[in-house]
Structure 1
Amino acid sequence: MYNIRYGLSYLRHRFLANNRHGIHSPFVYKLIDTVIYDYTAQKVYRDIKETCRKQHSDKSVINTLPLKFYRLLYRFAVYFKPQTILLADTEDYITAFVIKQANPEAQGISSSTSGTRQADMILADALKQNPASYLEKVMPSVHDDTVLIFTNIHRNAATKQSWEQLKLNQQVRVTIDLYFIGMVFFKPGMSREDFRVRY
């Protein structure tokens, strides 16, 4: 029943979500067109798949996430070129590997020092970190161009509710809901908008 509910929730998301042609924000449209919908095969994807295979027996789903998420995360890291990365889960070796492949010069920031250093990209699992609460916790590390990514935002009622609460934060300018993940942007010049994108 749990998987059925999750599957139905995903179908509902796809029905309500937009593709690139339903997006009026130039920033979000470009992100969708050049990164999210870039299905070009890349050699590094084989390395990512092999790393996932070694960590998990089920190659199609890694920690409740589809394998395509890690390919997308790689493209995000190439696109945004983050120099400082904050991983909420320091034992998430797959995500760390993907980021390093995309940007070998990126430096990791530990949670204990996050209040004194700014992060260009922050990644957290909504199943382990309440999105609304975690946002408040990491705000000292957020700057105008920080990208905050939560995985599993629709995994259960609690994660969905917290994701909706996060969107009410006055510091948040734009959110993008890709179902498996949610992206948060803080650029002051951007119009306040929330997007559901079909992926």
Structure 2
Amino acid sequence: MTLHALVQYLLYKRKAKGRHGTHSPFVYAFIEDGIQKIKAKSLKELLRTYFTDKKLVFVEEQQATRQVKNLFDSTRPDTIIAIKDIHATQEATDEWDKLSSSSRVTLSVDLYQYGLLFFDPAFKQKQHFIVKYPA
């Protein structure tokens, strides 16, 4: 683990909220019915199991910039882009911050291991959550 990743992990642990610190019914349900109830071998498996009605696109951190920006134009409201290792390097964290701030993104969730980007206009107000996930 690099020094940057360690610092980011400590910040994540300090800021991350569980279901009771979340004021979004969608994210609350994801924590309650997904993270806490689904016994998955990996976070990737958990996401596939919980978001069965969504189109999940997994992106490795090294490809994130180019690949995600290209995907933005073709995303539908049911698309979720999951980016791995968003805090592995300073560059990855900076890119995550840019991507999650995009006007196309309506909801972003930082799980430390993955960052989730949602594009559903049903989320009326842009929101960002840092959610506790067992490391």
* TM-score, scaled to structure 2: 0.87
Q: Structure 1 residue runs of 4+, over 6 Å off?
A: none
CA contact (8 A) 1:35 1:72 kept: no
Partner of 1:175: 108
Computing the radius of gyration over CA atoms, which structure comes out larger, 1 or 2?
1
Please state whether the residue corresponding to 1:150 is helix, strand or coil.
Answer: strand
Residue number in structure 1 paired with 2:20: 21
Distance 1:138 1:16 in 2: 29
Partner of 2:64: 130
Aligned residue in 1 for 2:33: 34
List alignment gaps of at least 5 residues for structure 2: none
Asked if 1:152 corresponds to 2:85, the answer is yes
| Whole-Å separation in 2 of the counterparts to 1:187 and 1:77 | 18
Q: Is the 8 A contact 2:4 2:88 kept in 1?
A: no
**1: CA distance, partners of 2:46 / 2:27:** 15
Deviation for aligned residue 1:121: 1.2
Aligned residues: 132
**Is contact 2:38-2:46 (8 Å) kept?**
no
Please state if 1:197 is matched with 2:131: yes
Q: TM-score, normalised by structure 1?
A: 0.61
Q: Over aligned residue pairs, what C-alpha RMSD do you find?
A: 1.9
Does the C-alpha gap of structure 1 residues 140 and 18 become closer, same or farther in structure 2, counting only changes over 3 Å? same
